Amino acid sequence: MSMIRLAACLALAAAAPARADGRALFSAHGCSACHRVGPDGGSSGPDLTLVGVRRPRAWIDQWLKSPRAWKPGTSMPEQGLSDADRGALADYLSEQKGQAWNGTPPWTGYGGLPRGRMIYERAGCVACHGTAGRGGQPDPGAPGGEIPALAPVVGNYTRAELIARVSGGVPSEPFHGVMPAVAMPAWKDVLGPGDLDALATYLLSLDEGQPKPDW
């Protein structure tokens, strides 16, 4: 390459805007104070280690644009991100598909109900279905505009049916509004048979204490 062409390339590179670093933005905006990615971060907000499995990038981008437009009353603050920073942060989060655990998810070494509860919380089921399956998270693609509560209905399924439903995922209804609809992913691509069985154990425990119909 001639010196003239090299100088021209260097000038163009210097003039081009630097791509924002989504991981650095995650730290700079204090996201890690509430959210974990891998072993690092807080626990007052949902674990984001698998957020790229649970949510499409378009959803993440719109949520970051205005969390309270999507969920009034959320404790997630409005960040006022520029389009470039929001895009970089959405890119970073949508890439989070468990690799931050380095092959050892936090429920490793646990069994039965404790394992299932940890999977529910750390894989992120809680972000959609709520603490102890109480539901209430908004979803324009769901009947009534909310992701349904699990606790009142989980007893209608057998263990095998629950595992099949979680394993295969549940597609969302088409939605053409501002926010992309939420779909439950096929967890068979993330969780092994033992994980799915433990999760079913926890889900079935949510039915305990629920009012039963008097047939």
- Give me the residue spans of the domains in the chain: 13-104, 107-215
Per-residue pLDDT tens listing for the chain (215 residues): 444 444 444 343 343 344 469 999 999 989 999 999 999 999 998 999 999 999 989 889 989 998 888 788 888 888 899 999 999 999 999 999 999 999 999 999 999 999 999 999 999 999 888 899 988 677 766 667 778 788 888 989 999 999 999 999 987 665 555 566 677 899 998 999 999 999 999 999 998 765 544 43
DSSP code for 75: S
**Is 107-215 the same fold as 13-104?**
yes
Helix pair 83-94, 57-65: axis angle to 10 deg: 140
CA quadruple 183, 189, 195, 198: dihedral, nearest 10: 30
- How far apart are the C-alpha atoms of 129 and 138, rounded to whole Å? 10
Asked if 137 and 127 touch (Cβ cutoff 8 Å), the reply is yes
- How far apart are the C-alpha atoms of 205 and 201, rounded to whole Å? 6
For the whole model, what pTM was predicted? 0.81
In words, the CATH class of domain 13-104 is mainly alpha
Q: Which option is the CATH number for 107-215: 1.10.340.30, 1.25.40.10, 1.10.3720.10, 1.10.760.10?
A: 1.10.760.10
- Which residues does residue 40 pair with via DSSP β-bridges, in sequence order? 37
User: Is the alpha carbon torsion for 171, 53, 41, 24 positive or negative?
Assistant: negative
